[in-house]
Amino acid sequence: MWKKIIAAVGCGVMLWSGSPAMAAEPQDAMSVYKEAYMANFNDERAVSTNLDLLGPDYHCELNAKGRVLRDSTMHWQGSMRWDIKAKKMNLASREDIPFYLENVNGLLNLYAQRAGKWVKLSVPGIPVELANVWQNGAVNFMDDSLQAVKNVSLANETDTQQGLQIVIDAGKMMQVSEKYLDDGTLKLSEKEKKEHQAMLDTLTKALQGTDLTVDWVVNKADHKTISINTDLTPLLRAYAKNVINDKAAGKIKLNNDEREMMESLLSFSELKFYMTYSGVNQNEKFTIPDDVRKSAVEILNMTNSQKGVSEAAGTGKK
């Protein structure tokens, strides 16, 4: 379950800190933030990212690069390295997992290689129509997001760069993001809706009052983001603490391995995220090789829940 927080918070960071543009004239920090935020919805960029999870008995590092387009189409390729120590058996292991990811026409496909074999996972992605709803409602989204912004300041300004440091209430960030990420467009069964809502409620409760600090570095000349950097450790530990408290209250059960993992996340683990941006090179292709597509064994397909998304999103519901 702890992976859900990484996915959810990562989604929030991506939505909240895209490709800011800075005004030419000096402004107060909040004005700069608002102008930067609006530029997020009108850019196509090449992206390189790093996600680093460090604990006492494990280290996971993800490195990827890709391309993100206005219509929500995304292509990524990269690798994830796991280093794990088994204390009881005094053993250490390392696994490198290359992967490709694409979000096209509202479907998210992940191809990953393990033990020399490619596998495929397919889940509902971000539909084009819903991306249009986000863009058309950009002003409303920014206004809603300000509910979670605790502080904005300018930092590390040079002749060519401008820095923004934003402190966000992570619990409120989840509440705002939930409205725009789901918005009733996915056709879920009643059971799936309850499970989905329970997961979101748990994350929101766990993260309430926890601060997330996001640093943007912006190029003054072309108003584009140079980098985004944030330490997700407080969110990881807040989530682990909530799970441990729920176990103590008898609300959930954990086996020994799960309990040790949560205790590790609470006391020792660190999770850091870094992303750099560059202009899109039309000659650079982020396509999935044909041999990977043909040889991959599908191990998960949840795309049936995507039916009806286009019709629902096309209404522009808020």
- Please report whether residue 13 resides in a domain: yes
pLDDT in tens, 35-83: 777 766 666 778 899 999 988 888 999 999 998 776 677 889 999 999 9
- Please report whether residue 215 resides in a domain: yes
Number of structural domains in the chain: 1
Could you list the pLDDT tens digit for every one of the 318 residues in the chain?
444 444 444 444 444 444 333 333 346 788 777 777 776 666 677 889 999 998 888 899 999 999 877 667 788 999 999 998 876 667 788 999 999 999 887 788 999 999 899 999 987 776 555 556 555 655 676 778 788 889 989 888 888 888 899 999 988 888 877 776 555 545 556 776 677 677 777 778 888 889 999 998 877 776 678 888 999 999 889 988 988 998 899 988 988 888 888 898 888 889 999 988 877 666 777 789 999 999 999 988 866 544 433 333 333 333
Q: Is there a contact between 269 and 236 (Cβ–Cβ < 8 Å)? A: yes
pLDDT in tens, 278-299: 776 667 777 899 999 999 999 8
Task: Starting at the earlier edge strand, list the strands of the sheet with 91-104.
Answer: 149-155, 161-169, 211-219, 224-231, 270-279, 45-54, 58-68, 74-86, 91-104, 107-114, 117-124, 297-301
User: What is the amino acid identity at position 45?
Assistant: R
- Please report whether residue 51 resides in a domain: yes
Domain coverage including residue 62: 2-313
Q: What's the alpha-carbon Rg for the chain, to the nearest Å?
A: 20
- Please report whether residue 107 resides in a domain: yes
Rounded distance between C-alpha atoms, residue 172 and residue 148, angstroms = 5
Burial of 234-249, coded b for 16+ CB within 10 Å and e otherwise, reads ebbbbbbbbbbebeee
User: What is the amino acid identity at position 207?
Assistant: L
- Please report whether residue 186 resides in a domain: yes
Q: Is there a contact between 281 and 148 (Cβ–Cβ < 8 Å)? A: no
- Please report whether residue 227 resides in a domain: yes
- Please report whether residue 318 resides in a domain: no
